[in-house]
Amino acid sequence: MTTNASVLAWIDQMKELTNPDTVVYIDGSEAQLEQLRQQAVKTGEMIKLNQEKLPGCYLHRTAVNDVARVEGRTFICARTKEEAGPTNNWMDPKEAYALLYGIAKGAYAGRTMYVIPYSMGPVGSEFSKIGVELTDSIYVVLNMAIMTRVGDAVWEVLGDSTDWVKGLHCKCDIDEEKRYICHFPEDNTIISVNSGYGGNVLLGKKCFALRIASFLGRNEGWMAEHMLILGLEKPNGEIKYIAAAFPSACGKTNLAMLIPPEKYRKLGYKVWCVGDDIAWMRIGEDGRLWAVNPENGFFGVAPGTNEKSNPNALHTTQKDTIFTNVVHNLDDNTVWWEGLDKNPPTNALNWKGEKWDPASGEKGAHPNSRFTAPAKNCPCISPEFENGKGVPISAIVFGGRRAKAAPLVYQSRDWKHGVFVGSVMASETTAAATGAVGVVRHDPMAMIPFCGYNMGDYFAHWLEMGEKLGDKAPKIFNVNWFRLDDEGNFMWPGFGDNMRVLNWILDRCEGKVDAVETPIGYVPHPADIDIDGLDVTEDTLKELLDVDKDVWTAEAADIEEFYKKFDRLPDEMKKQLATLKENLQK
Ligand code: OXD
Ligand code: MN
């Protein structure tokens, strides 16, 4: 419990509004969480899985109309529309409060209000931030207890401070027409109604750690980014850290937990995972950029996760994990998803809980089905994971799913050009958000759905951070693991072999290798990417590194069109686009 006056006053106000039968404070104890698990099993909210094979694991199914983030119903309720900018939905804060309080009125009647105090980042560390989420969902409580640090220790650290983020979640009737995920950056407040899907309701994640935090970061001089953080250990024991931004479901979790190819493992290379989704980055006392993962678990996409693609993630999910919308194997009370192995269960229920026949051709797991697993389960979790100071970043990597345009890897000429490279990121859409899948969309820094303020100002903030970092700024790169040949096959093996590209990136950071200057930036000499032992010919590698002027001329025209939507585009970005166009003419 807490005696914090600002917290208690808000809880009273929300109690008055939502009218719960009871209020339960989440203290973070295993005993309380276990009691909630049992309750959720009793009501059918969760299914307890085979405790011998999957100890501590549960299965949950969302409503069928509630399986992904809903960007169309996500709002930034800044004071003015301009503050929210052209890439966000905006609602006037007064109108939004009236609308949402109208929906939330009496929403907890006959239900329990759970009060979750949580810390983003290690509890009590200098750079961590505190939130309080109110919810009427045990599933949310149990997920928050995996994804963040929850409990009484958080109240102790908060003390009397008013510096915390309010979060109200009401399941209501899971009515799509009344579903709203609203952010009030000026009030440090989030309200989410009519959803039970993780990305919409685990308010510490996208809502706080990206949308609200990006706004705070701009005001306070730091960055909240949609990035994984990994450490690459060399045979001499030295570890270099990379932060990488990819749009949702483009393999951030796989890259963050990469297992180096055998040859590299034998030499002593190792990859350490600091985070798979979010990086909070600030300039340290030494002038370098330091990154912390504010989360405490992984909310990963299940389909495609297997022994080959990501053995570390698979291992991570073998205990104390909540699975959402996967297949339920009734024979042994375990779970399955497409791409786990080639043996789908025949006596099974699909993600909707219906009898499912794998031979039907229908998918059993939802394409955006998920696992929520504790970070500490991960075999390659970094020893620095709990270090509130973070890790120093040598390279920032952007990437997306591009069949043609982007080469396997290229380096920006400098930080400013790197900001341009991030701003023109585009990717084919995935199932992580509702809407068409496979359509190319622009997604600057993979932050389009997550930037809590005007994205033109966001680019300006990146440029300012670069000014402050000066020659200590990380080098900026772009990668594309998804290039296709004319027959539609992936040209690069991906997964563990991506380490070969990370090696080149770090060699560039250390000035160890030369590169070829192209209109879009520096591309490797083919000889500097190790393809030994791969099914990739030298010709294929050359093609992977090729920068096609015609394709890029079309790309530049597309960027110009995309840039038109920004009302506050920094001049520097226009200059960068002009330089690209000039380079392509040469
Ligand atoms: C996620 C997402 O869940 O980006 O991480 O959608
Ligand atoms: Mn994400």
Tens of pLDDT, residue by residue over 194-236, are: 999 999 999 999 999 999 999 999 999 999 999 999 999 999 9
Among protein residues, the one whose CA lies closest to atom 3 of ligand 1: 199
Which residue has 């993600």 as its token pair? 351
Distance (angstroms) between ligand 2 centre and the Cα of 280 equals: 14
Question: pLDDT tens digits for 5-42?
Answer: 999 999 999 999 999 999 999 999 999 999 999 999 99
Cβ neighbourhood burial of 486 (10 Å; 0-12, 13-18, 19+): exposed
Per-residue pLDDT band for 342 (boundaries 50, 70, 90) equals very high
Q: Which of 62, 69, 372 to mutate to test the pocket of ligand 1 (most atoms within 8 A of CB)?
A: 69
DSSP helix/strand/coil, 47: strand
The token duo for 14 is 């929300």
Distance (angstroms) between ligand 2 centre and the Cα of 401 equals: 15
Q: Which of 197, 299, 372, 441 to mutate to test the pocket of ligand 1 (most atoms within 8 A of CB)?
A: 299
Distance (angstroms) between ligand 2 centre and the Cα of 396 equals: 16
What residues have CB less than 8 Å from 2, skipping those under 6 apart? 8, 117, 155, 158
Check residue 475 and give its pLDDT: 98
Distance (angstroms) between ligand 2 centre and the Cα of 484 equals: 24
Check residue 428 and give its pLDDT: 80
Taking the CA of residue 68 as reference, the ligand 1 atom at the shortest distance is 6
Taking the CA of residue 446 as reference, the ligand 1 atom at the shortest distance is 4
- Nearest ligand to the CA of 434 is 1
Domain with CATH 2.170.8.10 in the chain: 297-377
9 to each of 291, 365, 372, 424, how far by Cα in Å?
34, 43, 32, 45
* CATH class of the region 5-45+69-221: alpha beta
- Nearest ligand to the CA of 370 is 1
Cβ neighbourhood burial of 488 (10 Å; 0-12, 13-18, 19+): exposed
Q: Give the residue numbers annotated as catalytic, written as ranges.
A: 250
Is 389 within 8 Å of 127 (Cβ atoms)? yes
Domain with CATH 3.40.449.10 in the chain: 5-45+69-221
Distance (angstroms) between ligand 2 centre and the Cα of 100 equals: 26
Check residue 249 and give its pLDDT: 76
- Nearest ligand to the CA of 449 is 1
Q: Which of 143, 206, 252 to mutate to test the pocket of ligand 1 (most atoms within 8 A of CB)?
A: 206
**In the chain, helix, strand, coil percent, each to 5?**
35, 25, 40
Residue 239 clears pLDDT 90, i.e. is over it: yes
Per-residue pLDDT band for 440 (boundaries 50, 70, 90) equals confident
Cβ < 6 Å from ligand 1: which residues? 69, 199, 248, 277, 299, 432
Mean pLDDT of the region 552-580: 97
Check residue 251 and give its pLDDT: 86
Residue 100 clears pLDDT 80, i.e. is over it: yes
Q: Report how far residue 510's alpha carbon sits from residue 318's, in angstroms, rounded to the nearest whole number.
A: 38
Among protein residues, the one whose CA lies closest to atom 4 of ligand 1: 248
Residue 378 clears pLDDT 80, i.e. is over it: yes
Q: What percent of the chain has pLDDT over 90?
A: 94
Q: Is the pTM of this model over 0.95?
A: yes
Question: pLDDT tens digits for 380-425?
Answer: 999 999 999 999 999 999 999 888 889 999 999 999 999 999 999 9
Mean pLDDT of the region 514-533: 98
Question: pLDDT tens digits for 113-131?
Answer: 999 999 999 999 999 999 9
Check residue 433 and give its pLDDT: 72
12 to each of 16, 18, 71, 105, how far by Cα in Å?
6, 10, 31, 14
Domain with CATH 3.90.228.20 in the chain: 225-296+383-585
- Nearest ligand to the CA of 301 is 1
- Farthest CA pair distance, the chain: 71
Check residue 404 and give its pLDDT: 83
Check residue 427 and give its pLDDT: 87
Distance (angstroms) between ligand 2 centre and the Cα of 319 equals: 22
Q: Which of 228, 248, 372 to mutate to test the pocket of ligand 1 (most atoms within 8 A of CB)?
A: 248
Alpha helices in 29-151 (DSSP H): 30-43, 81-84, 93-104, 138-147
Residue 432 clears pLDDT 80, i.e. is over it: no
Q: Which fold has domain 297-377?
A: Phosphoenolpyruvate Carboxykinase; domain 2 (2.170.8)
For domain 225-296+383-585, the question of CATH label 3.30.930.10 is answered with no
Question: pLDDT tens digits for 143-188?
Answer: 999 999 999 999 999 999 999 999 999 999 999 999 999 999 999 9
Distance (angstroms) between ligand 1 centre and the Cα of 32 equals: 28
Residue 554 clears pLDDT 90, i.e. is over it: yes
Radius of gyration of the chain (CA): 23
